[in-house]
Amino acid sequence: MQSILIRLKEDFQLSIITLVGLCSLIGITPYIVFRLLEGNLWVGLVDAFLVVSTGLAVLYAWRTGDTVRPGQFLALIYSAGAVLVSIKLGVNGLFWFYTLILFNFFVVPPLQSAVATVASLIVVCTYGYLNPGLVFESHYQMTSFAVTCLIASLFASVFAYRGRRQREQLIELATLDPLTRAGNRRAMDAELDIAMADYQRHKTAYGLLVLDLDLFKEVNDAHGHKAGDKVLTEFTRIVKLSCRQSDRLFRMGGEEFVLLLPMVDRTGLEQAASHIRGTVAEQLQTPDGPVTVSIGGCMLHQHGNSDEWMHEADQCLYKAKELGRNRYIISPKG
């Protein structure tokens, strides 16, 4: 139960999809019974399809962690369901459109929500216009319905966009170093734990490099912290350009960084360390000359946890420093 609450707290989209599933089960199920008892088999089957499909989408989201495709699927079937129920029930079915608007703008991006909502609205209004009296009692009522839906969609889209943007900013604050835009310590710990689990479950190869700028304190002392910050940001840029897209760079603090390399063997890890060391020495400059980097690394093998893995790489870094800096040492283990 505790793990369920943690996932709901940390994953907003999953919590919304789960809430939709509960609301669907509690809110629509009585209508299924009512429609069937009333003899309205067609609408009852549509409602039942919506409930079952929602349950399957929620289950898929929980099992895979993917909330994008379930959200898009639910937006599609709910839009189609709202159209079919409105056509079948007329005015009594139109009220579901306002629920649909809120739902769409919460579970999928604003543009996709707008397309699904407006397309559904066009279909209902077109059908109502071509079949007077079946959906709307008058053209005036149809116009009022369309205008109010569009206004509600506008407000919902603004709110959804602002909410989505604020969540993205919060995620950045929680996972990125504000100066270098590399991952921070929290993001690193999470990624290392994922790598450990991936290795233990699937034996996926991972390498780890610990990078430390040589004599960085002298840069700060000679040119000030502003110059030091510029060196750090330029170093981050150089390392990222020297890596694969799948590699993840994190700032541990100060001038120390960690690079996580998935799907690499020991030879590949040595090549990466050599390339980074050489590129940094060649491109990272201050008024007093080049800035170099010392690197320690190791492959993930029979480590008990990520701290042991990090410690082994740190020991290699210390040896590189002791042997004169501007060099790399990779652990022979693994």
pLDDT in tens, 303-318: 888 899 999 999 999 9
Reference 12, options 85, 73, 61, 82; nearest CA is 61
Query: What's the pLDDT tens digit per position in 273-303?
Result: 999 999 999 999 888 889 999 999 999 988 8
Q: Mean pLDDT throughout 199-226? A: 89
The tokens describing 257, both together, are 């960084």
- β-bridge mates for residue 209, sequence order: 259, 297
Non-local CB neighbours of 105 within 8 Å, separated by 6+ positions: 113, 117, 153, 156, 157, 159, 160
Q: How far apart are the first and last CA of the chain?
A: 38
Compute φ and ψ for 55, nearest 5 degrees.
-60, -40
Q: How far is CA 214 from the centre of its chain?
A: 35
pLDDT of residue 277: 95
Cα(122)–Cα(76) distance, rounded to whole angstroms? Answer: 15
Instruction: Tell me which of 10, 137, 255, 322 is the catalytic residue.
Output: 255
pLDDT for 139 beyond 80: yes
| 234-279 pLDDT, tens digit each | 999 999 999 999 999 999 988 999 999 999 999 999 999 999 999 9
Taking CA atoms, 150 is separated from 140, 248, 281, in Å, by 15, 43, 59
Rounded to the nearest 10 degrees, how much is the dihedral formed by the CA atoms of 172, 173, 177, 180? 60
Distance, CA of 47 to CA of 55 (rounded, Å): 13
Distance between CA atoms of residues 268 and 266, nearest Å: 5
pLDDT band at 334 (very low <50, low <70, confident <90, very high): low
pLDDT tens per residue across span 93-116: 888 888 888 888 888 888 888 888
- pLDDT digits 0-9 by tens, 40-81: 777 778 788 888 888 888 888 888 878 888 888 888 888 988
Q: How much is the pLDDT for 322?
A: 93
Give the separation between CA 295 and CA 233, rounded to whole angstroms. Answer: 18
Interatomic CA distance for residues 23 and 29, integer angstroms: 9
Q: How high is the pLDDT of residue 291?
A: 93
Tokens of 81: 């369901």
Helix/strand/coil (H/E/C) assignment for every residue in 50-83: HHHHHHHHHHHHHHHCCCHHHHHHHHHHHHHHHH
Its pTM stands at 0.64
pLDDT in tens, 155-212: 888 888 887 788 777 777 778 998 999 999 989 998 998 899 888 888 889 999 999 9
330: pLDDT confidence band, cut at 50, 70 and 90? Answer: very high
* Whole-number Å distance between alpha carbons of 283 and 289: 10
The confidence score (pLDDT) of residue 1 equals 59
Is 322 annotated as catalytic? no
Look at residue 3 in the predicted model and tell me its pLDDT. 62
pLDDT of amino acid 205: 92
22-44 pLDDT per residue, tens: 887 887 888 788 877 877 777 77
Residue 133, classed as helix, strand or coil, is coil
Judge whether 228 and 219 are in contact, CB under 8 Å: yes
| Predicted local confidence at residue 259, as pLDDT | 96
